[in-house]
């Protein structure tokens, strides 16, 4: 552990001993002045070259083996199949569309709530530099992680004014195995990218608090805005700022004065936030999430304490890392899965409050506040993805800071006699070594899609969804026999696993066995109980079954299943496919109603709905409205859309050869 400044050691029971006992609380003025002296500008060259460099080197060493990874999971779409990032001319569109807008023909992605233009811009730059060579993309992730590690040191030093604590915080952050998902997975870079811009915003705010220079506050607001454009979870930073004004710096003036300062700062941070939301609404047509939530609000709220506890376990126990952390929703307030985690978290919060340690309290607040956006989105995700390790990337700074403060506190105790500092240093080295070793191992998990899901099964062999997603990865890798075996293994574990029925049906349909594909879905309807927690899965089964019946010319049964899907879960994808079913049957008025309902619930950039409406209005002999919809389609459809030329030609024919606008 790097050498840091400390008060002179004295015998037990002396005034110096009492001072050491309160060192972690950072309340003694003389201790504060000593720390400030240790962090004086004159020492800046030394700490920059010594304290800051070690964590950065550790970050590079721990993540360098990711260079040999391939593309995995979402990378196959976000990199290899993403036509958007292949042309620099598309960069302006990154600021007016969603992350998944390149899949403009697939309505499933219209519920995408991700407006991250800097992420899309980074991928465009990566593609220009490296094409489809995975090593280059992984190199960028590694360098970003190293940059964030340096910023963790700088910000921690501003908060604690202790070089040793800042260095240890950054070292722990550099090698924490929960970060492998963000660093070794190309598409996981959103969180490191956001942190790379958010931490400077926090740093400049802290410097503004010390120096009062307005340009520093301007820098903080600028970096905050860029962080928002990288990932929406940056919205948590103003909450941290308010905490700092009201509590962290509470000794500087009355509470009323602190409240006034906090109010002014919030008003300033509200300006880039408002601009961000205007841009987001223009791009997505929604301020937060689009579409209907997958699960009810109350179970999501009741699951929050359990989710926090699981996230803390991932931070403190270097074992069981996986792309999936299956978590059932807690449905009743009397459940032990709600009461026990809540009681434990309350006990931890009380303990932190009683210690009255500013750095420790800041660490706890940072962890919870930065994790809050992920917790708020619980009801949007299926249980297998309720918890994601990448969501810990920024919050983990709080846990690493808390551990560093604890080790520093341990070093100041007299429990081990003259060996106290050696014991603390040994503990720090062991933590760094163990976490780093697990980090290196986890990097290899992200070699490709199959290795990702094999690890999920290895970590949770009793989780049905782990087997289902391994099944899909096997199928995509050209291993249909292994794929079907894994899907059946999921049903053996849970006969009510809706995703397994959908997956087996997909395999059968791709083999041309439509009757067998229908049979799997019918079995799924019989096996999966209908309720608030299963309605989304059941609605998906009914929708797919309706489409299969339509392919088999069983039109009455097809309509029944499609309407049942809408009744269980009204949503754009169901209205859209039902509208297409009616159009194919020549029921144009019914098709119009479904397509217009769809139009009200999809982002403005979803061009195919305008093509469908144009064809429907034309069939209803409403030529004026048909022309308007065809024009709208040509305006929104990407240049490489397969229907563009035929629609333009058709529109010209409708107008008697006149060129389209």
For 68-116, how does the pLDDT look when each residue is reduced to its tens digit (9 = 90+)?
999 999 999 999 988 889 988 888 888 988 887 776 566 666 666 788 9
Average pLDDT across the chain, whole number: 89
pLDDT score for 48: 58
Q: Is the dihedral of CA 167, 181, 280, 373 positive or negative?
A: negative
348-373 average pLDDT score: 96
pLDDT score for 18: 34
Q: Which pair of structure tokens corresponds to residue 425? A: 């240093």
Rounded distance between C-alpha atoms, residue 480 and residue 249, angstroms = 61
Residue 5's pLDDT band (boundaries 50, 70, 90)? very low
Rounded distance between C-alpha atoms, residue 300 and residue 375, angstroms = 9
Return the CATH fold of 461-569: 1.25.40
Element at 541 (helix H, strand E): helix 535-551
Alpha helices in 7-162 (DSSP H): 15-21, 29-38, 44-49, 53-63, 75, 117-130, 134-160
Rounded distance between C-alpha atoms, residue 566 and residue 588, angstroms = 19
Return the CATH fold of 572-661: 1.25.40
Q: Is the dihedral of CA 179, 183, 185, 190 positive or negative?
A: positive
Residue 596's pLDDT band (boundaries 50, 70, 90)? very high
Alpha helices in 317-419 (DSSP H): 336-355, 358-376, 396-411
DSSP structural state of residue 519 = H
Q: Which pair of structure tokens corresponds to residue 330? A: 């807690």
324 C-beta neighbours (distance < 10 Å), count: 24
Terminal CA-CA length for the chain: 69
pLDDT score for 33: 38
pLDDT per position as a tens digit, 528-567: 999 888 999 999 999 999 999 999 999 999 999 999 999 9
Burial 81-100 (b: 16+ CB within 10 A, else e): ebebbbeeebeebbeebbbb
Residue with tokens 């003694």: 28
pLDDT score for 51: 80
632 neighbors 620 (Cβ within 8 angstroms): no
367-388 average pLDDT score: 93
DSSP structural state of residue 531 = S
pLDDT per position as a tens digit, 607-636: 899 999 999 999 999 999 999 999 999 988
Of 544, 596, 546, residue with least CA distance to 572: 596
Q: What are phi and psi of 410, to 5 degrees?
A: -60, -40
How far CA 341 is from CA of 158, 307, 311, 348, 376, in Å, comes to 33, 9, 12, 11, 17
630 neighbors 650 (Cβ within 8 angstroms): yes
170 neighbors 52 (Cβ within 8 angstroms): yes
Residue 660's pLDDT band (boundaries 50, 70, 90)? very low
Q: Is residue 43 scored above 60 in pLDDT?
A: no
572-595 average pLDDT score: 96
pLDDT score for 109: 62
CATH 1.25.40.10-classified regions of the chain:
461-569, 572-661
Alpha helices in 161-254 (DSSP H): 163-175, 180-184, 190-211, 214-228, 237-243
For the ranges 16-30, 280-294, 319-333, the lowest mean pLDDT is seen at 16-30
Residue 590's pLDDT band (boundaries 50, 70, 90)? very high
Q: Is residue 366 scored above 60 in pLDDT?
A: yes
pLDDT score for 289: 65
pLDDT per position as a tens digit, 163-173: 999 999 999 99
pLDDT score for 20: 34
Work out the burial of residue 102: count CB atoms within 10 Å of its CB; fewer than 13 is exposed, 13-18 middle, 19 or more buried: buried
Q: Which pair of structure tokens corresponds to residue 41? A: 């500008």
Whole-prediction pTM: 0.88
Q: Which pair of structure tokens corresponds to residue 212? A: 């009062």
Tell me the Ramachandran region of residue 212: left when phi exceeds 0, alpha when psi lies from -120 to 50, beta otherwise: left
């Amino acid at each position: 552990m790097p050498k840091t400044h400390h008060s002179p050691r004295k015998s037990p029971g002396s005034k110096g001993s009492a001072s050491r006992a309160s060192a972690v609380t950072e309340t003694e003025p003389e201790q504060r002045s000593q720390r400030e002296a240790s962090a004086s500008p004159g020492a800046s060259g030394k700490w920059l070259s010594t304290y800051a460099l070690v964590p950065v080197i550790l970050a590079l060493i721990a993540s360098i083996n990711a260079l040999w990874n391939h593309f995995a999971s979402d990378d196959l779409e976000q990199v290899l199949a993403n036509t958007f990032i292949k042309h620099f001319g598309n960069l302006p569109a990154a600021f007016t569309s969603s992350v998944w807008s390149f899949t403009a023909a697939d309505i499933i992605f219209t519920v995408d709530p991700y407006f991250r233009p800097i992420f899309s811009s980074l991928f465009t730059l990566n593609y220009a530099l490296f094409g489809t060579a995975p090593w280059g993309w992984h190199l960028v992730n590694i360098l970003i992680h190293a940059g964030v590690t340096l910023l963790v040191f700088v910000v921690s030093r501003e908060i604690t004014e202790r070089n040793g604590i800042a260095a240890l915080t950054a070292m722990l952050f550099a090698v924490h195995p929960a970060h492998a998902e963000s660093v070794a997975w190309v598409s996981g870079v959103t969180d490191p990218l956001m942190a790379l811009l958010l931490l400077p915003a926090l740093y400049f705010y802290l410097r503004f608090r010390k120096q009062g220079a307005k340009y520093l506050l301007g820098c903080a607001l600028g970096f905050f805005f860029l962080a928002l454009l990288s990932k929406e979870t940056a919205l948590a930073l103003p909450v941290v700022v308010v905490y700092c004004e009201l509590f962290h710096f509470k000794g500087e003036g009355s509470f009323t004065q602190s409240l006034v300062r906090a109010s002014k700062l919030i008003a300033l941070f509200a300006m880039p936030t408002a601009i961000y939301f205007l841009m987001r609404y223009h791009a997505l047509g929604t301020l937060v999430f689009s579409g209907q939530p997958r699960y009810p609000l109350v179970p999501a709220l009741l699951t929050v304490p359990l989710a926090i506890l699981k996230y803390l376990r991932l931070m403190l126990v270097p074992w069981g890392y996986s792309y999936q952390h299956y978590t059932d929703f807690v449905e009743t307030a009397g459940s032990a899965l709600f009461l026990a985690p809540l009681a434990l978290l309350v006990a931890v919060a009380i303990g932190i409050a009683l210690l009255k340690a500013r750095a420790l309290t800041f660490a706890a607040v940072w962890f919870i506040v930065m994790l809050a956006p992920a917790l708020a989105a619980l009801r949007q995700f299926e249980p297998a993805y309720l918890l994601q390790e990448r969501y810990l990337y920024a919050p983990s700074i709080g846990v690493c800071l808390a551990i560093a403060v604890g080790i520093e506190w341990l070093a100041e105790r007299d429990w081990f006699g003259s060996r106290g500092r050696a014991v603390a240093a040994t503990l720090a080295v062991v933590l760094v070594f163990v976490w780093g070793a697990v980090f290196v191992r986890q990097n290899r998990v992200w070699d490709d899609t199959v290795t990702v899901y094999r690890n999920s099964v290895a970590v949770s062999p009793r989780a049905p969804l782990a087997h289902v997603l391994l099944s899909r990865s096997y199928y995509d890798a050209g291993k249909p026999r292994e794929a079907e075996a894994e899907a059946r293994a999921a049903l053996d574990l849970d006969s009510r696993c809706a995703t397994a029925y959908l997956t087996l049906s997909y395999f059968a349909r791709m083999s041309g066995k439509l009757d067998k594909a229908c049979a799997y879905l019918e079995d799924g309807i019989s096996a999966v109980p209908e309720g608030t927690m299963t309605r989304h899965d059941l609605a998906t089964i009914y929708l797919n079954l309706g489409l299969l019946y339509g392919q088999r010319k069983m039109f009455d049964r097809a309509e029944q299943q499609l309407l049942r899907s809408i009744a269980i879960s009204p949503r754009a994808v169901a209205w859209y496919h039902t509208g297409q079913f009616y159009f194919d049957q020549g029921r144009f008025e019914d098709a119009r109603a479904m397509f217009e309902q769809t139009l009200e619930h999809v982002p403005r950039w979803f061009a195919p709905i305008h093509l469908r409406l144009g064809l429907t209005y034309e069939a209803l002999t409403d030529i004026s409205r048909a022309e308007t919809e065809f024009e709208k389609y040509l305006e929104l459809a990407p240049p490489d859309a397969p229907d563009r030329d035929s629609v333009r030609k058709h529109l010209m024919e409708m107008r008697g050869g006149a060129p389209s606008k």
